[in-house]
Structure formats: structure tokens, C-alpha cells
Amino acid sequence: MAINQPSGQIKLTNVSLVKLKKGKKRFEIACYQNKVQDYEEGVRKDLDEVLQIHQVFVNVPKGLIAPKDDLQKCFGTVDVDTVIAEILTKGEIQLSEKERQLMLNKINNEMLTIISAKCINPVSKKRYPPTMIHKALVQLKFSPVVNKPAKLQALEAIKLLVAKQIIPIVRAKMKVKVTVADPAAKSELVEKISKLVFAEEGAMPTTSSSSWERTGLIDPVSYRDLVACCQGESTLQVLDMAVIDDSTHTN
């Protein structure tokens, strides 16, 4: 897409528009293609790397800049960076059909790769290839969208796959190491951690008068609870985000 702006005749090429309707008014920003998703996922934080023009518009092709009164009324501020950040986060990307399909393919591939890395067949303990996961999601009529990070969509898809069991699938366990200083004085904490962290077969916690240590597996859904338990009271290390036997793939 090429856009000629009357104001100074600035020519924008390969532009993606992000639009947001707020307070019955529409606002637009002009971004570089493929950079919006990077910003949403935190890969890029510098607005100048995402924006073609550091400005908020009501109509980019016509070069109509949004009045400050409209920004104040709709966003509660005239700070352009604050408004741009909200449009990037909540707005909708305006893409050509070809651009939309390319982005959907990219997000879909990233999403399938994440699911494959985080999930296993509970019987074989092997990961599923992305092609099999894709077939299951098609059956469940789950399709990715362009305005949401691949990681977030992968987590949503995992919840659906686990709930529906089109294929036998569970989240792979995480492997962690927890160390508690002065365990005698923190027996309740040790007990809580012991219920969350399951020792691997044959493994026993290491205990001394000065510390208690356990290396084991946890269900990923329990990770936040474990972090809360360990906050300021012990040391938590993640050794493996997904414990999987990768000797072979599930066919």
C-alpha cells in the first residue's frame, strides 16, 4: 500500500494501519508491516521502530492528524505516546487480504510450535508434531486471529485441547529446584512446597540443619502458586520448562 499525504506529500510504503474506535471517534496510526505483533509480544518496545510516522491520525491516507481536544476527550490525555500505546494494544490491524493471510500463517505456525513444545501424550510421554495438533484444532474449529499474540492463543488452544481430548493430551510437567534456608523455622513452607513439587522417581529431598532442597516436577498451572510460596522465603530455579522424552515423536 502506498499513501500520499497532502501535508508535505510524505509517501508511506509497506504500511499497516492500526485503528481504534473510542468515544464514538476513530483514530489511526501508520506502522511498519510485521512490527505490530512484535510490539504486542514485547519484542519491540521502541515506538519509533514500529511507527512510520510518530503521530495519531483520524485518517492516515488523507494526512488528517487527530485534534488534541479529541485525544483529551477520548483518552484522557494529549500525550501522543500514551495514546499510540493504547491504539497498538487495543486497536485492529488493517491489512490487505494477502498481508492478513501471511500474518495468519505466521501466527498459526508459532502457535502450533508452542503447543507442541508444551504438551505431551500422557501415555507415551512424547510430544505431538504440529501437524497432528493442527488437525485436532481444525476439528475443534479453533482458528488463530491476527490481533492477538501467538503465545496467548497457544495457551487458549491448550486449554481447549486438554478439555475436549480430541487426542489424548496434557501439559508437560516443569522441572524446578527449590531451596529453603532454615527449614526448621519454616516447616509450614516446606510442607506447602512439598505438595506442589513432586520428586522424580527415586529422588529424595536434601536436608540439613541449614537448608532443605527439592528438585522435582510441577504442574504448570501450579507455577504461580509456587512462586507466591517462594517469594522472599526461598530460592526457586526453573530447570526445564517442559519435561518431555524426545527420543521419538508420536506418530
CATH number at residue 120: 1.10.10.900
What's the structural domain count of the chain?
Answer: 3
- Whether 97 shows a pLDDT value over 90: the answer reads no
- The answer to whether residues 7 and 87 belong to one domain is yes
Residue-level pLDDT at 111: 96
CB 186 within 8 A of CB 244: no
pLDDT range class, residue 234, cuts 50, 70, 90: confident
89 and 122 both lie in a single domain: no
Q: Which of 94, 113, 142 is the last residue of a domain?
A: 94
* Residue 197 cell numbers, joined: 513439587
Same domain, 64 and 122: no
* Residue with more model confidence, 125 or 71: 71
- Over residues 127-146, the pLDDT tens digits come to 999 999 999 999 999 999 88
Closest CA to 115 of 154, 161, 163, 165: 154
Place of cell 501424550: 121
Of 39-53, 169-183, 195-209, the least confident: 195-209
Q: Can you tell me which residue has the cell 513439587?
A: 197
Confidence of residue 201 (pLDDT cuts 50, 70, 90): low
Q: Which of 171, 189, 205 is the last residue of a domain?
A: 171
Residue 142 belongs to what domain range? 97-171
Question: Residue 214 falls within a domain, yes or no?
Answer: yes
Position of cell 501437524?
131
What is the average pLDDT across 103-128?
A: 91
What is the pLDDT, as a whole number, of residue 11? 55
Bridge-based pairing of strands 15-22 and 11-13 is unpaired
Q: Which of 26-30, 201-205, 218-222 has the highest mean pLDDT?
A: 26-30
Residues 112, 132: one domain? Answer: yes
Asked if residue 247 is part of any domain, the answer here is no
Q: pLDDT above 90 covers what percent of the chain?
A: 36
pLDDT over 90 (residue 229): no
pLDDT at 248 over 50: no
Grid-cell match 518496545, residue found: 45
Rg (CA), the chain: 24
Structure confidence at residue 23 (pLDDT): 85
Mean pLDDT value across the chain: 83
The per-residue pLDDT for 144 is: 93
Give me the mean pLDDT over the 208-225 stretch.
84
Tell me how far apart the alpha carbons of residues 215 and 236 are, in angstroms, rounded to a whole number.
10
Give 167's contacts (C-beta < 8 A, 6+ positions apart): 121, 128, 132, 133, 136, 161
The C-alpha cell that represents 229 in the structure block: 510460596
213 and 155 fall within a common domain: no
Residue 91 is predicted with a pLDDT of: 86
Distance, in Å, from the CA atom of 124 to the CA atom of 246, rounded to the nearest integer, reads 11
CATH number where 88 lies: 3.30.1250.10
By three-state DSSP, how is residue 131 classified?
helix
d(C-alpha 234, C-alpha 181), whole Å: 7
**What pTM was estimated for this model as a whole?**
0.61
Instruction: Look at residue 248 and tell me if it is in a domain.
Output: no
